[in-house]
């Protein structure tokens, strides 16, 4: 089910001809109108998507998108299932197109709509001193918010939540019975840009952070919102202190993530996954269900269900222990 994003204003439609001009792609069709950009899984037939790795071929085969941004290497593959728009740099082109549809997405500065007086309209919550609330925020009953915490506009927080001190929450939808401990930053933009000799090209982040019911976020966690997809923390998943979750990461249900674990962007973590302290998960990986990852490990490839791994690069824990007796 697609969840409506209330945080970024979007242009309703852009002619394909104008999109192609912006991306320096040859196309003369003046009639086709595109309503947005989306990932392969969620794209509608009148949206554009993108493809730059055979790892996502299974998504390409099932996508509804009629037009796909890709490079010359994957032209023939994409044309089997959709219409390829050939560019030199896929991700930079996605960033350009995202900026066309969401022209204000890069304005990720201060929410000047927040006000300490807004908190008074929430009758069934407990709150500390100097709590600042933006416009159109929804907070469920029996939720507590600590001192010096900022909840920016349009954020949704469910009932029976505990939001600690010195926390910033933006661009986020938070479920019921969620605990967020002191000092965490939830929903800031991801670390996405393309290096240049003069001015680096920043990548718009128009996704959200979704934290599902009964989750716990430890002290001083940073959870980046998604670029196009959302960043998701599953039901009953607990994150220890100083964990970093990058854009588009999807962590499943009932996971246990201990201190100082780092997730690079767009990795998918299954259900009932346990990760030891200071482990690192590289980007665009798939970690299966019931996986155990030892502390200090470096995960650089997919891990199948029910595996136990450790070391760098992470390997079957029995092999690791044999080599390090």
pTM for this model (two decimals): 0.92
- The 3-state secondary structure of 69-135 reads EECHHHHHHHHCCCEEEECCCHHHHHHHHHHHHCCCCCCCCCCCCCEHHHHHHCCCCEECCCCEECC
Q: What is the pLDDT of residue 28?
A: 61
Q: Taking the domain 14-101, which CATH number applies?
A: 3.40.1390.10
142-181 tens-digit pLDDT: 999 999 999 999 999 999 999 999 999 999 999 999 999 9
What is the set of active-site residues? 247
Q: Report the alpha-carbon distance of residue 24 to residue 235 in Å, rounded.
A: 43
Strand order in the sheet with 67-70: 36-37, 47-50, 67-70, 83-86
Q: Taking the domain 116-323, which CATH number applies?
A: 2.160.10.10
Local confidence band at 111 (pLDDT 50, 70, 90 cut-offs): confident
The domain segmentation of the chain, as residue ranges, is: 14-101, 116-323
Q: Report the alpha-carbon distance of residue 247 to residue 191 in Å, rounded.
A: 8
């Amino acid at each position: 089910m697609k969840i409506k994003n209330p945080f970024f204003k979007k242009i309703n439609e852009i002619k394909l001809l104008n999109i192609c001009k912006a991306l320096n792609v040859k196309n003369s069709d003046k009639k086709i109108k595109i309503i947005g950009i989306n990932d392969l899984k969620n794209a509608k037939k009148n949206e554009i998507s993108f493809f730059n790795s055979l790892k996502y071929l299974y998504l390409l085969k099932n996508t509804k998108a009629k037009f796909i941004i890709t490079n010359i290497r994957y032209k023939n593959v994409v044309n089997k299932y959709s219409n390829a728009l050939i560019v030199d740099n896929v991700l930079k082109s996605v960033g350009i197109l995202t900026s066309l549809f969401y022209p204000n997405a890069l304005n990720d500065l201060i929410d000047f709509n927040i006000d300490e007086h807004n908190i008074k309209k929430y009758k069934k919550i407990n709150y500390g001193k100097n709590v600042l609330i933006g416009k159109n925020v929804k907070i469920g009953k029996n939720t507590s918010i600590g001192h010096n915490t900022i909840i920016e506009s349009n954020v949704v927080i469910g009932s029976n939540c505990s939001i600690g001190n010195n926390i910033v929450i933006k661009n986020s939808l938070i479920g019921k019975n969620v605990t967020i401990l002191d000092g965490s930053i939830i929903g800031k933009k991801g670390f996405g840009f393309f290096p240049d000799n003069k001015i680096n090209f920043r990548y718009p982040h128009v996704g959200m952070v979704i934290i599902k019911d009964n989750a716990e976020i430890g002290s001083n966690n940073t959870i980046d919102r998604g670029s196009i997809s959302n960043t998701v923390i599953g039901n009953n998943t607990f994150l220890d202190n100083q964990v970093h979750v990058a854009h588009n990461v999807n962590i499943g249900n009932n996971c246990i993530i201990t201190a100082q674990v780092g997730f690079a962007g767009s990795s998918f973590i299954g259900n009932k996954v346990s990760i030891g302290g200071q482990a690192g998960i590289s980007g665009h990986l798939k970690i299966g269900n019931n996986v155990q990852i030892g502390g200090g490990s470096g995960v650089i490839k997919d891990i199948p269900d029910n595996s136990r791994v450790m070391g760098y690069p992470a390997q079957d824990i029995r092999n690791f222990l044999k080599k390090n007796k």
